[in-house]
Amino acid sequence: MTDILNAFVLFANFVFVPGLAYGAQLALGALGITLIYAVLRFSNFAHGDTMAFGAMCVILITWGMQAMGISAGPLPTALLALPFGILGAVALCLVFDRTVYRFYREQRAVPVVFVIASVGVMFMTNGLTRLIIGPDDQRFADGERFIITARDFKEMTGLAEGLAFRTTQAITIVVAVIVVIALFRFLNHSRMGKAMRAYSDNEDLALLSGINPDRVVLYTWIIAGALATIAGTLYGLDKSFKPFTYFQLLLPIFASAIVGGIGNPVGAIAGGFIIAFSEVTVTYAYKKFVSYFGWETDGLLQLLSTDYKFAVSFVILVLVLLIRPTGLFRGKVI
């Protein structure tokens, strides 16, 4: 019995808990992508760097708060700074919408033009972030680091395996749940949310029924900017903030959105967790796990070396596009 418990604690410590937190971060990122795709009808490549920019705003404000002695007790100060960071990222999104995307909207440009424009915006945001905060690792997490450490867990339960649960992992999961609930309530029940969905379904009909397209676009950017900042900050808190890692996150985020069905918010969340768990489970070595079931082996029982972590999301992306281009939850066809 203890063996089985040990096996599950081991699995939870190295696969389930990290996968859950990573999945929540991907899901929040994928929601932003999917929203832009649904309403504005293009794949926003700048989203990863918007996350970096938003997280950077949060970090700068966090530092300011720390200097003034404001803290959130056991929670990271960054949570207090989050609303201000969101303002920064939203402002950036709106500036780029005014200066870049609006021009192409008025031209009624085809989606691929928007995509390429967003690549340009990505490089500009990228450069802006590096100019302001630099390309290096920044640490801004404070407060209690652990809810329970591996060592305490071992002592408490008497098991051979420890289970570490970091505060940032808990915050990530809790915040993601709150944000998702709020977003769905907004989309399904508020007047603006319904207008956005109508605009997404059929632009011309929506315009005929008196929906103001400028306001729809405005709200979309506000929500996308907020989601990006929250996702970016949670990722930075849980792992570390480095502008380049956000650029790398773009692939798993897009994979999440597409696997779930791009343009479909439920799909984005499911996709985030699917991608996260496949990355972690495929690259985990099960040697120790199976040894608790009495199966001793010399091999590592690892399907893929961890070097191929990003390849996993890429393979899933390709498979989904080949077999079911609409994604699992019937999004739009890219």
List residues near other proteins by CB under 8 A. 13-15, 18, 22, 139, 146, 149-151, 153-154, 162, 164, 166, 235, 239-240, 242, 244-245, 248-249, 279-280, 283-289, 300-302, 305-307, 309
- Distance (Å, whole) CA 54 – CA 85: 6
Write out the DSSP string of 80-108. HHHHHHHHHHHHHHHHHIIIIIHHHHHHT
Strand partners, 285: 302
Q: Is 106 exposed, middle or buried (0-12, 13-18, 19+ CB in 10 A)?
A: exposed
Task: Estimate the crossing angle of helix 47-68 against helix 17-40, to 10 degrees.
Answer: 120
Residue closer to other proteins (CB basis): 113 or 300: 300
Residue closer to other proteins (CB basis): 186 or 244: 244
Task: Estimate the crossing angle of helix 213-238 against helix 191-201, to 10 degrees.
Answer: 100
User: Minimum distance between the CB of residue 234 and other proteins, rounded to whole angstroms?
Assistant: 12
User: Minimum distance between the CB of residue 25 and other proteins, rounded to whole angstroms?
Assistant: 10
Residue closer to other proteins (CB basis): 19 or 88: 19
User: Minimum distance between the CB of residue 241 and other proteins, rounded to whole angstroms?
Assistant: 8
User: Minimum distance between the CB of residue 164 and other proteins, rounded to whole angstroms?
Assistant: 5
Residue closer to other proteins (CB basis): 10 or 38: 10
Nearest to 89 by CA among 227, 219, 215: 227
- Distance (Å, whole) CA 216 – CA 194: 10
Strand partners, 241: 138
Residue closer to other proteins (CB basis): 16 or 104: 16
User: Minimum distance between the CB of residue 27 and other proteins, rounded to whole angstroms?
Assistant: 16
Residue closer to other proteins (CB basis): 98 or 151: 151
User: Minimum distance between the CB of residue 307 and other proteins, rounded to whole angstroms?
Assistant: 6
